[in-house]
Amino acid sequence: MSVDIENVNLSRYKEVKTILVSQPKPERSPYYNLEETYGLTIDWRQFIHVEPVDSKDFRKTKIKPDDYTAVIFTSKLSIDHYFRICEDLRIKVSGDMKYFCLTEAIANYLQKFITYRKRKVFVGKRTVMDLEAAFMKHKDKEKFLLPCSNLGSKNVSGFLDRNGFDWKDAMMYRTVSSDLSDLSDVKYDVLIFFSPLGIKSLYENFPEFTQDSTRIAVFGSSTSKEVEDRGLITDIKAPAPEVPSMTMALENYLKISNAK
């Protein structure tokens, strides 16, 4: 893809040599191709991680998973922690339980815990609205439980509230900032973030952080807003119609910043 140099602020296009990606290092990634092509040093570090809610703390919520006849799964993590809590509390999940899974991948993962063919599983393509017909069919028959993290699931909870469902969310795990104290600093040419919590973690670990010449790359509008709220400059942004991935957005930047 060509880059329209006439429409960019060239003062922010300084050569890039070092990049820190705020995620765990994958086995394979298009970032590795960029690293080789542009002679970069790319480091990986998880800025946030998931911690389980202890079963003793969960008991204090007075939520009893076996009081519900249907459960909504928004991620594989929500499945893991739902069945973990049930096991810790010695709750036998009813064979009549109904499962509403936002995607096929989530539904397939459910097979680790149940005999799939014998259960009632409803599967969406991507969002809660894909399951609207199934939800509405069972609205007055079921009591719904939504396992979630401390971040909740706004799209799902909003849908349930708007339509008057009998439901309850249950925080079973937390997304929290990772300890980055072993890093001497974060003075990289580019920092890449994928969530507002990544930005929060940056400041929790490095409260004196200043952007200076560091370029910041963000994925998603909520991450971009967090950067803006912190008074930082976003130099690289995805997704966009012509740049659906972060690596594509990064390469468009590198074509200018690292041009010989």
pTM: 0.77
Residues 6+ apart with CB under 8 A from 59: 89
pLDDT tens string 103-142? 999 999 999 998 876 679 999 998 899 999 999 999 999 9
Greatest C-alpha distance within the chain = 66
pLDDT value of position 118: 64
Backbone φ and ψ of 74, nearest 5°: -105, -5
Cα–Cα distance between 94 and 97 in angstroms, integer? 5
> Which whole-number Å values give the CA distances from 152 to 75, 109, 146, 230, in the listed order?
12, 21, 9, 23
From CA 207, how far away is CA 202, in angstroms rounded? 8
Residue 247: the pLDDT is 96
Q: Which residues pair with 19 in a beta bridge?
A: 42, 190
HEC per residue, 193-209: ECCHHHHHHHHHHCCCC
Q: Where do the DSSP E strands lie in the chain?
A: 18-21, 41-44, 48-52, 70-73, 98-101, 120-123, 144-148, 167-171, 173-177, 190-193, 215-219, 234-238
Banded pLDDT at 182 (limits 50, 70, 90)? confident
For position 9, what pLDDT does the model report? 62
Residue 169's nearest CA partner among 178, 161, 179 is 161
Question: Percentage of the chain surpassing pLDDT 90?
Answer: 84
145-180 pLDDT, tens digit per residue, is 999 999 888 899 999 999 999 999 999 999 999 999
pLDDT of 48 over the 70 cut: yes
- Residues 207-229 pLDDT 10s: 999 999 999 999 999 999 999 99
pLDDT over 50 (residue 1): no
